[in-house]
């Protein structure tokens, strides 16, 4: 499968919402528990500000197979960005995450960030593995972190120095 990475375009929001919603629907380990409409996805993207970057992974048919964003976060210092990555259910391999991360890292460096934080549910084995593979290291663990529905799942914070 040929994979290319490009910046987000407004017409991408419906496919992005579909990817995230499928993960939510099957009980995936994202912190998001409620489906997002395309309009809510657009609003989230617009709310990221001028230092946020959203990147899209597409296959040879221009179908979105994954996306990643990085942006400032109110719980992090100004030199740190927060990152999130989502890949379409059933699409694995081909270096989707690695290709997205390479582009995101270059963008975050150019914006003056010094490090990137990934906050991952502690029960999300694939997410923890992905960020470790990208070179992130644990810097904080919240064993009692709860989801919006009250379930305690814990949260692992990983750091990548740019």
Question: With helix as H, strand as E and coil as C, how does 116-160 read?
Answer: EEEEEECCCHHHHHHHHHCCCEEEEEECCCECCCCCECCEEEEEE
The predicted structure's pLDDT at residue 151: 86
The dihedral through the CA atoms of 149, 159, 49, 20 has a sign that is: negative
What residues make up the domain containing 143? 4-161
With b for 16 or more beta-carbon neighbours within 10 A and e for fewer, the 76-95 pattern comes to beeebbbbbbbbbeebeebe
CATH number for the domain spanning 49: value is 3.40.630.30
Task: Write the CA distances from 134 to 26, 85, 116, 128, 137, integer angstroms.
Answer: 26, 12, 11, 10, 9
Cβ–Cβ under 8 Å, residues 145 and 154: yes
Q: What's the pTM?
A: 0.94
- For residue 148, is pLDDT > 90? no
Structural domains counted in the chain = 1
- For residue 126, is pLDDT > 70? yes
pLDDT tens digits along 10-64: 999 999 999 999 998 987 677 787 888 999 999 989 888 899 999 999 999 999 9
- In the chain, what percentage of residues exceed pLDDT 90? 77
The predicted structure's pLDDT at residue 34: 85
């Amino acid at each position: 499968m040929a994979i290319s990475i490009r910046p987000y375009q407004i017409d991408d929001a419906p496919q992005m919402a579909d990817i995230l919603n499928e993960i939510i629907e099957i009980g995936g380990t994202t912190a998001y528990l409620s489906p997002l409409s395309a309009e809510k996805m657009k609003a989230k993207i617009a709310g990221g500000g001028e230092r946020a970057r959203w990147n899209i992974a597409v296959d040879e048919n221009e179908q979105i197979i994954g996306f990643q964003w990085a942006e400032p976060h109110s719980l992090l210092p100004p030199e740190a960005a927060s990152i999130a990555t989502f890949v379409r259910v059933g699409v694995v391999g081909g270096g989707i995450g690695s290709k997205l991360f390479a582009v995101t890292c270059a963008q975050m460096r150019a914006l003056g960030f010094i490090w990137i934080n990934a906050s991952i549910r502690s029960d999300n084995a694939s997410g923890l593995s992905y960020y470790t593979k990208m070179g992130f290291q644990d810097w904080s663990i919240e064993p009692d972190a709860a989801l919006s529905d009250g379930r305690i799942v814990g949260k692992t914070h990983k750091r990548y120095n740019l």
